[in-house]
């Protein structure tokens, strides 16, 4: 993922035209100190004192406000990062589902857990409670969804949030800040700050921050983890991926191709857990490649711009290196500013840079394999391990291969199946920790043991 974490210019720049539409002020040191102080204070006065039902009611209202303002919210991220209106509306709707999930389930997920005792009398209970104020460092590609999956479970716990959004998303960041305030959260429960890189480093080290969650690049994740480690802070990192799409057998190749193209071009190809490496059994390879390439290239006329000219230039550099190193590019047209035509790379081998990189845009790599074993080996031959996709008509093969794929998520015979109740996260250089589902409630929580002796 792009290094937008390294940019301090908070501005709305239309990726389709390159025109600066609005500029937002950076936070002063006084602003940062006030945000940290308010978040720490709110955790003590509200987070630890409120009931799960009270917090759930506020989270539910956040979801309702997303519904009431869905059109305005969707329009804002269209201006910021070029997202088509229907996709933007879908993102807002998914966020509402996430808030509703935690509103509906917070009390159940936070209830005391009885621990059966092997010896002695009395009782043992694990009680879940907040750990404090958390710093969230969010990317630009899904401006509302990334916040929802971090903030919703942690506010349900009673943790408070200091949110540093991507500099190119200041309008949507401000809209979210306003929604949380209008939902009834007290001052400091959710605070948005337009922080600089140096200020972020200082906030991570500040004792008022109890933990950090980042979605972004490997470089940003390593930097955040290093500072957090020196200061003994827990981190959750989601650092992107180069997800395999493994096709071993099918009764409907056209449906598989449609799923592959839809998933690859979602959000102009700028989704961390989208399939990026298409690994196809030998007997299906030629037919799949022909139909997949035709469909990808046919989408050129309707493709949305990438999030910025810089993003498109970065992808162009990766593709150019791949071709120079021996890959073959199938494409219709050329890049124009932030508009990048969908493309398909074949002939990519392990000695080429692209083989081990994430192509964060509308470009796919397609590989031929001669066996299930070779497919698994190729799927796992990547420094990443976020998501993966497996298509097969054989249930036993599906079970066998899914168990062997080294990733945080495996989706069998379907794409775009994420849901509020399902855990999201990866392994290897895709990061660590989980968000969403009940797993999202277990990252930044004090699982406090209360052991009572029988004679007490």
- What pTM did the predictor assign? 0.95
Q: Report the C-alpha gap between 454 and 85 in whole angstroms.
A: 62
- The answer to whether residue 5 scores a pLDDT higher than 90 is no
Which domains does the chain possess? 4-239+430-452 (3.40.605.10), 243-419 (3.40.309.10)
* pLDDT tens track for 276-304: 999 999 999 999 999 999 999 999 988 89
* pLDDT tens track for 52-110: 999 999 999 999 999 999 999 999 999 999 999 999 999 999 999 999 999 999 999 99
* pLDDT tens track for 143-176: 999 999 999 999 999 999 999 999 999 999 999 9
Query: C-alpha dihedral over 185, 189, 192, 196, to 10 degrees?
Result: 170
* Beta strands 384-385; 427-428: pairing state: antiparallel
Q: Report the C-alpha gap between 456 and 165 in whole angstroms.
A: 49
Q: Report the C-alpha gap between 71 and 418 in whole angstroms.
A: 22
Predicted pLDDT of residue 7 = 62
Note the helical H segments in 18-130. 29-42, 52-68, 70-81, 85-110
How far apart, in Å, are the Cα atoms of 320 and each of 1, 274, 314, 325, 354?
A: 18, 22, 10, 9, 10
* pLDDT tens track for 217-235: 999 999 999 999 999 999 9
Q: Report the C-alpha gap between 155 and 418 in whole angstroms.
A: 21
Determine which helix (DSSP H) or strand (DSSP E) holds 201, and give its type and residue range: helix 197-205
Angle formed at CA 118 by CA 114 and CA 124, multiple of 5 degrees = 30
Share of the chain above pLDDT 90, in %: 95
Q: Report the C-alpha gap between 318 and 316 in whole angstroms.
A: 5
Q: Are 365 and 382 in contact (CB under 8 A)?
A: no
Active site residues: 238, 272
How far apart, in Å, are the Cα atoms of 55 and each of 40, 102, 345, 451?
A: 17, 10, 49, 27
Q: At what angle do helices 85-110 and 70-81 cross, to 10 degrees?
A: 120
- The answer to whether residue 2 scores a pLDDT higher than 80 is no
Q: Report the C-alpha gap between 76 and 72 in whole angstroms.
A: 6
- Give the model's confidence band at 435: pLDDT under 50 very low, under 70 low, under 90 confident, else very high: very high
């Amino acid at each position: 993922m792009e290094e937008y974490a390294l940019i301090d210019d908070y501005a709305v720049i239309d990726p389709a035209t390159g025109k600066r539409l609005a500029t937002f002020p950076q936070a002063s040191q006084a602003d940062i100190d006030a945000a940290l102080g308010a978040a720490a204070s709110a955790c003590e006065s509200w987070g630890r004192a409120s009931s799960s039902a009270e917090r759930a009611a506020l989270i539910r209202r956040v979801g309702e406000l997303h519904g009431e303002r869905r059109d305005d919210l969707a329009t804002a991220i269209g201006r910021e990062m070029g997202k088509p209106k229907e996709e933007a509306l879908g993102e807002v709707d998914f966020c509402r589902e996430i808030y509703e999930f935690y509103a509906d389930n917070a009390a159940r997920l936070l209830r005391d857990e009885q621990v059966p005792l092997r010896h002695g009398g009395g009782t043992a209970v694990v009680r879940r409670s907040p750990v404090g104020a958390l710093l969230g460092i969010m990317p630009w590609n899904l401006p509302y969804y990334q916040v929802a999956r971090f903030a919703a479970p942690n506010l349900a716990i009673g943790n408070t949030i200091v949110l540093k959004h991507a500099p190119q998303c200041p309008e949507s960041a401000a809209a979210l800040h306003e929604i949380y305030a209008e939902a009834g959260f007290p001052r400091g429960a959710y605070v948005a700050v337009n922080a600089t890189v140096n200020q972020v480093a200082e906030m991570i080290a500040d004792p008022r921050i109890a933990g950090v969650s980042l979605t972004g690049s490997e470089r940003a994740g390593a930097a955040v983890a290093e500072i957090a480690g020196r200061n003994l802070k827990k981190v959750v990192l989601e650092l992107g991926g180069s997800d395999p799409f493994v096709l071993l057998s099918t009764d409907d190749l056209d449906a598989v191709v449609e799923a592959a193209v839809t998933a690859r071009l979602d959000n102009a190809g700028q989704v961390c857990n989208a399939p990026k490496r298409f690994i196809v059994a030998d007997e299906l390879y030629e037919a799949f490649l022909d139909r997949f390439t035709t469909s990808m290239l046919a989408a050129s006329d309707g493709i949305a711009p990438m999030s910025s000219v810089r993003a498109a230039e970065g992808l162009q550099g990766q593709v150019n290196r791949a071709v120079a190193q021996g890959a073959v590019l199938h494409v219709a047209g050329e890049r124009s500013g932030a508009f990048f035509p969908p493309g398909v790379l074949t002939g990519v081998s392990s000695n080429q840079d692209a083989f081990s990189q994430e192509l964060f845009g509308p470009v796919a790599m397609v590989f031929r394999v001669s066996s299930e074993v070779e497919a698994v080996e190729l799927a796992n031959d990547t420094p990443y391990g976020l998501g993966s996709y497996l298509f097969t008509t054989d249930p036993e093969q599906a079970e066998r291969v899914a168990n062997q794929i080294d990733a945080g998520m495996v989706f069998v015979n379907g794409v775009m199946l994420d849901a509020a109740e399902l855990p999201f996260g990866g392994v290897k250089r895709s990061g660590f920790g989980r968000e969403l589902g009940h797993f999202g409630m277990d990252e930044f929580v004090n699982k406090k043991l209360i052991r009572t002796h029988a004679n007490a």
